[in-house]
Chains A and B, each alone.
Chain A
């Protein structure tokens, strides 16, 4: 990188810094928005998560692309990180899906158990507990 290139980069770095600060303040401000009071299609938690994590993702992108020079790095590194994030998502999603399906008494049982539930041999709350327990 020539000196001239670097000089222009300095400006970029400081701009990214100010942007990150701005997003930090934004994310704190957004956390105070009462999503429950608006009549939104999904749960308020969903919106809080969506907005909060989107801002975090943007900040993360800024750090990795500019400070860590991921933009100017060869594709291979990019794919490596994408691969690990993919596995990460698998690690997060599968146990989540598991516990969700395990908590829904209708979706959770293996067929032979479900049959026994329907025949009345087994109480439907026996394996997962009743809804009041959760």
Chain B
């Protein structure tokens, strides 16, 4: 598809763009002057007027660049003229005219974008700037949020967009860098972007937890280190730790990074079904992450401190904007997940190559399929709940206020309707990664591939009807609790099927104990412990004693931390050679593994003991005030030391990662299939795969993904795409 290249004299367009940038910078100065120098009104008006003047002149130059975009430039000029008029003569300005400049900016930018594809980015940024300003002008008229301090900072958005718009139009190399590395539409690079961002968030979330563990070990209401962090701050750290690890760390890693990178490769597609949507998903996730992080910097207020579950009424009533940031951030993250899941689903369903039937798909792709279905259908109720809570906080509605006809339990229903499928989202792709690595390193097929697939489908379906086992203690009747108890017991069956199949896959294999295999092997008993400790929690009667205790924390951390995160490490060690062409160091990997395994168990095993003794969650001094916790209090220090040890062992991983990345290749010839695997991404692509379209020759598939050690064959593996 050849796009015509319009010969816009770059210099004139660029000059006009530069002027718009300057206009934006002036607006920024005005904003800073107003915010931090206590609204020196006349200085602000002066700077604003000069900015509008620059907008006026900039638009003129843009319009002169080429006949087709003359109206684009003219609308921008008119916008600047109107803004100038508003600033110079405020007392004669009728109300409605304030809305005109952004509207004109919006349409001006659209015209520039539509006329020319090369400089269209600047046009888009200009129109988004106008749109954002318009929304920010209208919003206070509907909701009483003018008083919220964070609201002022939102005005930075249109200003920054305007600055970038101009900048982009001036510099073509910058544009190239931007389109290749920042706004790339290549699924591999987007997967790497997801991976980098989520690993940073995982490290950050872990650090929050270490502060908490320090408090729990050494500040149990005694001694000189009293009030290292206030109880409210402890709760804030706890809530943000949970949110960041789940929504910003693990899910983007296993679905955004692993899913985005591997799914198109494993089904033989040149890219995801909707590459631009993929890019949009990543950036919306990024913005959501920034908003969540921004909640730490809200002046005079804490970040969200009502638990990662943000139960009402505590969350609605918590003071300060931290919780509001949390809600807004969640809305961005949910949107990103929705768009990403649509992409993965369409890719798997539509873009499989010839010969790749459903039952020949690698198990990893099946888990990504079901995970995307869970994300697609389960997230919207949480979005609704987030909107309701946001309105309750910001607009004074009473959705969850029992004194005015609201319902507190409603929030819990909507939240857990998502959050239960969410935990299956956390575990399913990990099971997929582990299955791939185990079958590859035992050199034999997966045992029970078909039952595993059907179990995954069954698990996905059932996960929608078990949510209230998180709500056993809310006063439900016996009918309801029996229903949910039964469904919870039933849902343990498919997960046991999958786990047992993975165990049985080991029988009779010739096992290679490389680092990915070590992590994958340890995943099995760790996930097993996590799953088994979930059973008492699923029984309503036992849950009465164990609900909201450390037992629960131990249970879900066993599933996610030595479970999913070990699978993530396994996946990184396993696919690193494909992504970079270099293999990570085995010795460092093994040290990382053994240390992490011991430390993980040291942290989470004692939690079961504490939970059975009755120590509650979210206590900022670890149960010091309670008599029933006295005997198990000593475990706090042990757990914290193990937590610090865990951090220390992650350093081995970080060093290994960067050292391998940055060193030169030892061998000039890159082995594109070092693990001797069967799946398409190993056998038919280079390492790393081609930037444009992944495959030189579109593969055809002849068999399933687990044909290892076939009798009579010379090799012990038989690639999917090999003919005979």
A residues with CB within 8 A of B: 83-84, 87, 90-91, 94-95, 97-99, 101-102, 107-111, 127
Contacts and interface: CB of A to CB of B under 8 A. Distances in A.
A109 B464 contact: no
Contacts of B381: 91
B464 A102 contact: no
Given A94-B413, A110-B477, 19 more contacts: A87-B377, A90-B464, A91-B417, A95-B413, A97-B480, A98-B409, A98-B413, A98-B468, A98-B477, A98-B480, A101-B476, A101-B479, A107-B477, A107-B479, A108-B475, A109-B477, A110-B478, A110-B481, A127-B475
B465 interface: yes
B410 interface: yes
Interface residues of B, number: 17
B1 to A, nearest CB: 26
A84 B478 contact: no
13 contacts: A87-B464, A94-B468, A95-B413, A98-B413, A98-B468, A101-B479, A101-B480, A102-B476, A102-B477, A107-B477, A107-B479, A108-B477, A110-B481
A77 to B, nearest CB: 11
Contact of B407 (A99, A101, A109, A111): A99
A101 B476 CA distance: 8
B477 A84 contact: no
Contacts of B413: 91, 94-95, 98
A109 B479 CA distance: 10
Contacts of B479: 97, 101, 107
A50 B413 CA distance: 26
A84 B381 CA distance: 12
Contacts of A109: 477
Contacts of B465: 90
A6 to B, nearest CB: 26
Interface in B171-196: none
B409 A95 contact: yes
Interface string B388-413: 00000000000000000001011001
Interface hub of B381, B464, B468, B475 (most chain A Cβ within 10 A): B475
B481 to A, nearest CB: 7
A90 B480 CA distance: 13
A48 B632 CA distance: 60
B475 to A, nearest CB: 6
A73 to B, nearest CB: 14
A111 B479 CA distance: 11
The main secondary structure of chain A at its interface with chain B is helix
A102 B417 contact: no
Contacts of B476: 98, 101-102
A27 B479 CA distance: 37
A110 B540 CA distance: 11
Contacts of A111: 478
A130 to B, nearest CB: 16
Contacts of A90: 464-465
A123 to B, nearest CB: 15
Nearest to A107: B477
B706 to A, nearest CB: 27
Contacts of A110: 477-478, 481
Interface in B479-526: 479-481
Contacts of A95: 409-410, 413
Interface in B446-466: 464-465
Given A91-B381, A94-B413, A95-B413, A101 B464 contact: no
Nearest to A127: B475
Residue from B407, B468, B476, B481 whose CB has the most chain A CB atoms within 10 Å: B476
A97 B407 CA distance: 14
Given A84-B377, A87-B464, A99 B477 contact: no
Closest 9 CB pairs of A and B: A101-B477, A95-B413, A108-B477, A87-B464, A107-B477, A84-B377, A98-B480, A91-B417, A90-B465
Nearest to B412: A95
A101 B474 CA distance: 13
A17 to B, nearest CB: 30
A111 B540 CA distance: 12
B599 to A, nearest CB: 40
B409 to A, nearest CB: 7
Contacts of A98: 409, 413, 468, 476-477, 480
Interface centre among A87, A90, A97, A111 (most CB of B within 10 A): A87
Contacts of B478: 110-111
B373 to A, nearest CB: 9
Nearest to A110: B478
Nearest to A97: B480
Contact of B409 (A83, A84, A99, A107): A99
A84 B468 CA distance: 19
Given A87-B377, A90-B464, A94-B468, A102 B407 contact: no
Contacts of A87: 377, 464
A109 B477 CA distance: 5
A108 B409 CA distance: 15
Contacts of B409: 95, 98-99
A25 B476 CA distance: 43
Given A94-B413, A97-B480, A102 B475 contact: yes
Contacts of B377: 83-84, 87
A110 B477 CA distance: 5
Contacts of B468: 94, 98
A98 B409 CA distance: 10
Nearest to A100: B477
A78 to B, nearest CB: 15
Nearest to B345: A80
Contacts of A102: 475-477
B642 to A, nearest CB: 38
B542 to A, nearest CB: 14
Nearest to A128: B475
A98 B669 CA distance: 65
Contacts of B477: 98, 101-102, 107-110
A66 B413 CA distance: 35
Most chain B Cβ neighbours within 10 Å, of A84, A91, A107, A127 = A91
A102 B479 CA distance: 11
A84 B376 CA distance: 10
A7 to B, nearest CB: 31
A104 to B, nearest CB: 8
A127 B464 CA distance: 29
Interface in B91-107: none
A83 B461 CA distance: 9
A43 B314 CA distance: 38
A83 B373 CA distance: 11
Contacts of A97: 479-480
B419 to A, nearest CB: 13
Contacts of B407: 99
B436 to A, nearest CB: 27
A90 B479 CA distance: 15
Nearest to A91: B417
